[in-house]
Amino acid sequence: MIVLHHVPWGRSFRVLWLLCEMGMPPDEIIRYRIGDRAMREAALMGVSPAGRIPALEIDGITIFESGAIVQYLCETRAGHGFGRLPGDPERVRFLEAIGFAETQASLIEQLNLNHLFLRPPAKPSPTVVKLNTLRLADTLRALEGMLAGDYLLPAGFSGADAMLGFNLFAAPFYVRMEPYPKLRAYWQRLQARPAFRQAAEIEGPQTFYAREFYEVPAGG
């Protein structure tokens, strides 16, 4: 029995997608919405102590944090070839990419807060929004240089690519992607994978972002 605690089109998409890549989509998906009371109640806090998504119930254990879940799945289902185990020449790059995905996602989270959750009388600082946007653009520039052929690692698709999927879904709402042709092509390749399409069908249309693009506020 595999149970995924999940926010649609959030970081937990990484886990849903990787499970689909492994041919083992969740038996049950418990969906939450950011800001809902359910994310502060005992049911979620019992599987994710900070009330954060994702959490995955699998193999008789519960594990939270998407990076940890992705590493666990890749190591316990090594036959799929989505991990890079100790001794593999791509191991360090694999671990770097998983950590880098969270660095990038933290900036997306800040921009989500700035643009979507602060309401009058609270207002985001235009300077802070501009700084976070520029920092996100810097990570996209770095990621453009990290690509090794079709995927992040020369040997092919890995859990690190699944970690980046959420980021490349969300980043274009805040940063224009025209300067990053390799990333745009990479994102198209990721979306073309059958398991990505399966996960996206499970998700349905995204309803989190109400606009196609969020500009830096005047004064930033």
pLDDT tens per residue across span 4-58: 999 989 999 999 999 999 999 999 999 987 766 655 555 677 777 777 789 999 9
Residue 111 in any domain: the answer is: yes
Domain that holds residue 153: 91-193
Interval 152-175 mean pLDDT? 96
Residue 61 has pLDDT above 70, yes or no: yes
Interval 63-91 mean pLDDT? 97
67 and 109 share a domain? no
**Single residue among 80, 102, 125 that ends a domain in this structure:** 80
d(CA 206, CA 27) in angstroms, rounded, equals 22
Domain count, the chain: 2
118 and 76 share a domain? no
Calculate ∠ Cα 146-176-66, nearest 5°: 50
Residues 90-112 pLDDT 10s? 999 999 999 999 999 999 999 99
96 and 62 share a domain? no
Residue 215 in any domain: the answer is: no
pTM score: 0.93
169 and 133 share a domain? yes
CATH number, domain of 96, equals: 1.20.1050.10
Interval 202-209 mean pLDDT? 92
pLDDT above 90 covers what percent of the chain? Answer: 80
27 and 70 share a domain? yes
Task: Quickly state the pLDDT bin for 129 (edges 50, 70, 90).
Answer: very high
